């Protein structure tokens, strides 16, 4: 089949009347029905809503006029509410009741003229870095259907990688956009803290997570960030508005790039393919005129344990009725039990330690504009490889060893992007190996310009379609 159009190309084709929003939506729904189950992309397809939205856009040219994403199908991750659609957050302990409101990002995407195709698969409450919920099929990467699409935005990544849609909403609290981007051969940006508001219905809490998107191109990601980077009254964190797509082609300037191959969060082995991916990206950056030098490990691994206290209490805060705790996955139950043992003072100290760690990371990396690492320590994992229901603590630490760099950006609020710059044969199958660039707080635009420069210099192939 031909290479699918990007989100921006799709919107331009609709604007030029080479196709219609309705035709694009019908084709996306047909492909979602055909290959969505194979890759575990969706928990709910909103046929009537999507077709009505698309037909209305075609009938009323003034709606979202001028939006670069007008008419583009964009599903929503099932950790985010879409009014009237089932909301289950990947958990058998939660009834899939219709959501009472649209979350803010859903409103913004609708105002930009995107078409809400359905809800994508997520693991229980978005906690694991793989998407294997008890309420839906596992999300799988189209590069090898025996392997996981990552998590927790696994369904979103599978939907984009399978060519169902050119863009999908996701969220990232410890790597949950960048991990699926790496294993599915996509672009995945976690924006800076304060760039994308959780409002008007959500709150920042410990401020680890951010909404974002999964795409095939840096330009699509920049266009989506323009849409999502809006504030709501009462935001706890707020960055000044910028133009991301409009400034994307500006040279990022010669930058100081720190290459870090040593894991940050835990001592673990790094697969040679992941090392090679980052090292090759470093050589490309040098060829582009940037200065690349080794970066220090920003903190000893034991200091990362503050993340466990915050993550486990976050798991405990999920609104699960006491009589339905037994329906939770073993990992979730273990995290909630861990959270119950975190005293108030310990939680406060974990927050303070995160702030101290943020300062120490800034000092450790003060000589660099961007830090370059592999996205993950291993190639895409087989479905079930990281999941250990019989030993949920091992499950947690195996995930940590798989993702030893991603959560540093969540703890410190920095923008971080995974790019599909590398492929390697693993067990006889060509697989994507992501490379991660992490910038300084608020410097999303320059990070995107650097990513665009790499995309133009190297490019990446289309994902093989199932």
Active-site residue flag, 152: yes
From the candidates 176, 192, 210, 312, which is the catalytic residue?
176
- Give, in order, the Cα–Cα distances in Å from 324 to each of 53, 221, 351: 37, 39, 30
Rounded distance, CA 103 to CA 95, Å? 19
CA proximity to 250, closest of 11, 9, 451: 451
370-374, strands of its sheet edge to edge: 167-172, 210-215, 187-190, 416-426, 429-438, 370-374, 256-259, 291-294
Helix (H) or strand (E) holding 87: strand 86-87
| Contact in structure between 179 and 149 (CB atoms under 8 Å) | no
Q: How far is CA 94 from CA 79, 84, 97, in A?
A: 12, 16, 8
Q: Identify whether 77 is a catalytic site residue.
A: yes
Is 119 marked active-site? Answer: no
Of 152, 264, 407, 418, the catalytic one is 152
| Overall size of the chain counted in residues | 466
Alpha carbon distance 334, 284 (integer Å): 43
Helix ranges (H only) for 269-414 are 272-287, 306-316, 330-340, 344-364, 392-402, 406-412
Measured in whole angstroms, how far is the alpha carbon of residue 157 from the centre of its chain? 8
Residues with a catalytic annotation lie at 77, 152, 176
């Amino acid at each position: 089949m031909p290479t699918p159009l990007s989100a921006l190309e799709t919107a331009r084709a609709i604007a030029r009347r080479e196709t219609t929003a309705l035709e694009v939506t019908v084709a996306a729904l047909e492909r979602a029905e055909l290959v969505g189950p194979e890759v575990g992309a969706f928990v709910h397809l909103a046929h009537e809503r999507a077709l009505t939205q698309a037909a209305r856009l075609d009938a009323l040219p003034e709606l979202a006029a001028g939006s670069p994403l007008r008419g583009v199908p964009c599903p929503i991750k099932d950790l985010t509410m879409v009014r009237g659609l089932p909301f289950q957050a990947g958990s058998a302990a939660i009834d899939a009741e219709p959501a009472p409101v649209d979350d803010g990002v859903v409103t913004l995407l609708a105002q930009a003229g995107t078409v809400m195709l359905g809800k994508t698969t997520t693991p229980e409450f978005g906690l694991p870095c793989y998407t294997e919920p008890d309420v839906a099929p596992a999300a799988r990467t189209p590069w090898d259907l025996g392997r996981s699409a990552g998590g927790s935005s696994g369904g979103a990544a599978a939907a984009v990688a399978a060519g169902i849609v050119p863009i999908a909403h996701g969220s990232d609290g410890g790597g949950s956009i960048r991990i699926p981007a790496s294993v599915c051969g996509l672009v995945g940006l976690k924006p800076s803290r304060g760039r994308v508001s959780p409002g008007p219905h959500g709150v920042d809490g410990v401020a680890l997570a951010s909404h974002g998107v999964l795409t095939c191109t840096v330009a699509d990601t920049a266009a989506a960030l323009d849409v999502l980077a809006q504030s709501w009254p009462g935001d706890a964190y707020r960055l000044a508005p910028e133009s991301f797509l409009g400034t994307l082609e500006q040279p990022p300037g010669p930058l100081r790039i720190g290459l870090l191959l040593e894991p940050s969060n835990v001592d673990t082995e790094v697969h040679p393919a992941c090392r090679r991916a980052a090292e090759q990206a470093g050589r490309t950056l040098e060829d582009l005129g940037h200065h690349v030098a080794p970066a220090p490990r920003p903190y000893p691994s034991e200091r990362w344990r503050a993340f466990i206290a915050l993550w486990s209490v976050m798991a405990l805060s999920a609104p699960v009725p006491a009589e339905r705790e037994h329906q939770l996955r073993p990992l979730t139950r273990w995290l909630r039990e861990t959270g119950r043992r975190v005293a108030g003072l310990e939680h406060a100290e974990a927050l303070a330690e995160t702030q101290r760690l943020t300062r120490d990371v800034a000092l450790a990396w003060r000589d660099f504009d961007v830090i370059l690492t592999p996205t993950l320590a291993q190639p895409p994992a087989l479905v079930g490889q990281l999941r250990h229901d019989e030993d949920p603590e091992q499950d947690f630490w195996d995930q940590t060893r798989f993702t030893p760099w991603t959560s540093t950006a969540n703890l410190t609020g920095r923008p971080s992007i995974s790019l599909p710059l590398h492929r390697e044969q693993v067990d006889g199958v060509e697989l994507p190996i992501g490379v991660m660039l992490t910038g300084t707080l608020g410097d999303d635009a320059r990070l995107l310009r650097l990513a665009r420069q790499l995309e133009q210099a190297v490019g990446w192939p289309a994902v093989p379609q199932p």
